[in-house]
Amino acid sequence: AQSVAQPEDQVNVAEGNPLTVKCTYSVSGNPYLFWYVQYPNRGLQFLLKYITGDNLVKGSYGFEAEFNKSQTSFHLKKPSALVSDSALYFCAVRDSGAAGNKLTFGGGTRVLVKP
Amino acid sequence: GAVVSQHPSRVICKSGTSVKIECRSLDFQATTMFWYRQFPKQSLMLMATSNEGSKATYEQGVEKDKFLINHASLTLSTLTVTSAHPEDSSFYICSAGQPNTEAFFGQGTRLTVV
């Protein structure tokens, strides 16, 4: 069975500082990895994905993530955080052998960017 | 990106009544859609996979008679919470996507049963 772990419930960072949200995964086949962001009482917005190719993936709103196969990690990063980045972030994985877009989510990490 | 629309965004109902939530893919056809439930400050829990033209596949522990799913067309799936009780109050989210792409999510539905 596939699983995703986000070890930090909350990350606090000052505006302008680098932001990192950690994610590790476990799948039986090749992983399809995703990051989503959720604002209060909203659905999830897609940020970026890794399917294959370059390990460094660039996504929306200045976010990027690095796929590390040996460490089974897919950490989300942003060089300079904004107050508006404060939200709930989810890492998700889809096993390449799975049909459709059925995702397994991590527990979520709340990001708080302070002015 | 693809758009998934979910309606209503918020609903309050009396205990014992049923509530229907709609999930539409606006600019693509979706043979499969997914329904999730999210408790406050928690992650998304997959409830069921909605399959166009066939029965939904429910995750372990999810009552299929309680949460009725209908996927009658390639752009619409509905989730009906039957005989709702206060413990069914939650945030329900649907998702859909074309094969081998990212999933797109509806705006979510905040259900409150009083």
User: Which backbone phi and psi does B58 adopt, to 5 degrees?
Assistant: -100, 145
Contact between A106 and A38 under an 8 Å Cβ cutoff? The reply is no
Q: Cα-flanking dihedrals φ and ψ of residue A61, to 5°? A: 55, 30
Tens-place pLDDT, residues A62-110: 999 999 999 999 999 999 999 999 999 999 998 666 556 678 899 999 9
Interface test with A, best of B31, B105, B110, B111 (most A CBs within 10 A): B105
Taking only the tens place, the pLDDT of each residue in A19-63 is 999 999 998 888 899 999 999 888 899 999 998 888 999 999 999
Full strand arrangement of the beta sheet holding B4-7: B4-7, B19-25, B76-81, B67-73
d(CA B90, CA B16): 16
Of A41, A110, A88, A38, which Cα lies nearest the Cα of B112?
A41
Q: Which residue has the higher pLDDT, B11 or B2?
A: B11
Which helix (H) or strand (E) segment holds residue A21: the answer is: strand A19-21
Q: Is the pLDDT of residue B6 over 90?
A: yes
Helix (H, G, I), strand (E, B) or coil at A41: coil
The 10s digit of each residue's pLDDT in B26-75 is 988 888 899 999 988 788 999 999 988 889 999 999 999 999 999 989 99
**In this complex, is the C-beta atom of B44 within 8 Å of any C-beta atom belonging to chain A?**
yes
For B86: left if phi > 0, alpha if psi spans -120 to 50, otherwise beta; the answer is: alpha
Burial A69-88 (b: 16+ CB within 10 A, else e): eeebbbbbbbeebeeebbbb
Query: A105: distance to nearest CA of chain B, Å?
Result: 7
Contacts of residue A36 in chain B, CB cutoff 8 Å? 105
DSSP state of B59: P
